[in-house]
Structure 1
Amino acid sequence: MSTVLVITPTYNERDTLPGVVARIRAAVPAAHILVVDDNSPDGTGLIADRLASELDGVHVLHRERKQGLGAAYLAGFRWGLARGFDLLAEIDADGSHPPERLPALLNAAERADLVIGSRWVPGGRVVNWPRKRELLSRLANRYVRLMLRLPVADATGGFRVYRAAALEKILLGGVESRGYCFQVDLTLRAVRHGYAVAEVPITFVDRTSGTSKMSVGVLFEALRRVTVWAVVR
């Protein structure tokens, strides 16, 4: 039976983290959970420590400062790979990714090296997103797919499962991306390594607590990098 590590980065997620951890444990009771906290000023790290002290299989990785989503995931990947987990999952701590879909992603990982919980395949959808943000995400993914020739509908999606052997190869040589384009970067690397990529439909629910780290400026900087990758890679 495959061992599973679910990695959830946090920055000021004190209101949502306990609920997300509970939902992950209910969906995949045998999975371990790693909270990677970027020194949240709201005390999220202390809440994560409390959860780890009370619940078997919950771990916390404290980082000295906020360095972005990509850096947090890379730290979590290194932690999980060093401990021999077979499958490593990504999930947001704000509740926007449905932990109840983890079993479907893990089942798909029996046949694929990277599985993406997708908003933009048939059956996928978003809830409570402003129309402008939904349009930006759809257009960004179409641009990524066209420029990088990726056979993926939701290359920016951050609800994922990687097979450890594939992830180790994907990370070889280092990954410099840290922000919004981090997920695109790893997707591109997976495809160019010849790994099988699958998408499973999910319902993405906009956060009800806290503030999104996404902005139009961040999005367009990511698309600029995608354009550069299309030219030089």
Structure 2
Amino acid sequence: MTMTQREPVTRVAVLIPTYNERDNLPGIVARVRANVPSADVLVLDDGSPDGTGEIADAIAATDPQVRVVHRAAKEGLGKAYLAGFAIALDEGYHAAVEMDADGSHLPEQLPSLLAALGGADLVIGARWVRGGEVRNWPAHRKVLSVGANVYTKVLLGMHVNDATAGYRAYRTSALRTMGLAGVQSQGYCFQIDLTLRAIRAGLTVVEVPITFVERQVGVSKMGHDIVREALTSVTRWGVEHRMGQLRAVAGRVRGREPVGDRP
């Protein structure tokens, strides 16, 4: 479809992975339901030992638009989202939204992301664009995030300014074309991986400025292994991208060589 012929987004699944988020989840779900009443909420709980899954069940028992998927163990953000994408695809949703359970992604900004899907396949809620904002982060976290995104943008040749952002909305038609079966990445790397797949599939990616708020309750799940995975994978993808460019240039040069000059 062209941008003027895109299918209206009427069925939306908001995917919320959880691990030990019992104090944050009820408020987040309530705010999503208040701001996008037509959307369904899918809680993807990785066997939280703090009882998050049971709290999610209690919410779902009183709201037919909330559902809980109980996963046996903590397998990481990427696998949780892939499980949610599979459900959204199987059940005919038009869009799938990624949203953190810790309050850093404001449900009040979800309508603007969904509105932008009218002219896009993937909408990223971006912090590092004009109008974007990050609250309550220490300076070293900002430097790490900005640096990671600049490194990714330069090395992979992408136009996206916030490829590591986790607040985003996909058309399910886009997910079908992105080759999700081969995705193994997690954390920051998962978001970069899917952004890159969308761009390479020729899909339209837009960024909408958001306000990102550091969690007030609970403990961040980001560790050194997540950062290390992203750095390693992006470097590998970047080298492959640049080598591909060099091969393409070499091929064009050979194609312009006079036949008589070839050995």
Q: TM-score, normalised by structure 2?
A: 0.86
Partner of 1:185: 193
C-alpha distance in 2 between matches for 1:113 and 1:189: 12
* 2:41 is the counterpart of 1:33: yes
Structure 2 gap ranges (5+): 1-7, 242-263
- Cα displacement string for residues 50-93 of structure 1 (whole angstroms, at most 9, x for unaligned residues): 00001120000110000000000000100111100001100000
Post-superposition offset of 1:221:
2.6
- Work out the CA distance in 2 between the residues paired with 1:198 and 1:123: 14
2:132 matches 1:124: yes
Of the three residues 143, 168, 175, the one matched with 2:151 is 143
Could you tell which deviates more after superposition, 98-107 or 210-219?
Answer: 210-219
Q: Could you tell which deviates more after superposition, 221-230 or 118-127?
A: 221-230
Query: 2:136, 2:184 → 1: CA distance?
Result: 32
What does residue range 77-92 of structure 1 map to in structure 2 within 5 Å?
77-92=85-100
Distance 1:212 1:147 in 2: 28
Match of 1:74 among 67, 74, 82: 82
How far apart, CA to CA, are the structure 2 residues paired with 1:230 and 1:100? 35
Measured against aligned partners, the alpha-carbon deviations of 1:111-135 in whole angstroms (never above 9, x if no partner) come to: 0000000000100010001111011
Find the counterpart in structure 2 of residue 155 from structure 1: 163
Distance 1:22 1:135 in 2: 33
Gap runs ≥5 in structure 1: none
Among 44, 67, 71, the alignment partner of 1:59 is 67
Whole-angstrom distance in 2 between the partners of 1:153 and 1:206: 20
Corresponding residue number in structure 1 for 2:253: none
Report the alpha carbon displacement of residue 217 of structure 1 after superposing the two structures with TM.
Answer: 4.2
CA shift, 1:172, in A, is 4.4
Q: Which residue of 1 aligns with 2:248?
A: none
What RMSD in Å do the two structures reach over aligned CA positions?
1.1
Residue among 24, 42, 51 paired with 1:16: 24
Structure 1: which 4+ aligned runs deviate by more than 4 Å? none
Larger Rg: 2
For residues 152 and 100 of structure 1, what CA distance do their matches in structure 2 show? 23
Match of 2:213 in 1: 205
Residue in structure 2 matched with residue 45 of structure 1 by the alignment: 53
Q: For residue 223 of structure 1, what is the amino acid of its counterpart? A: L
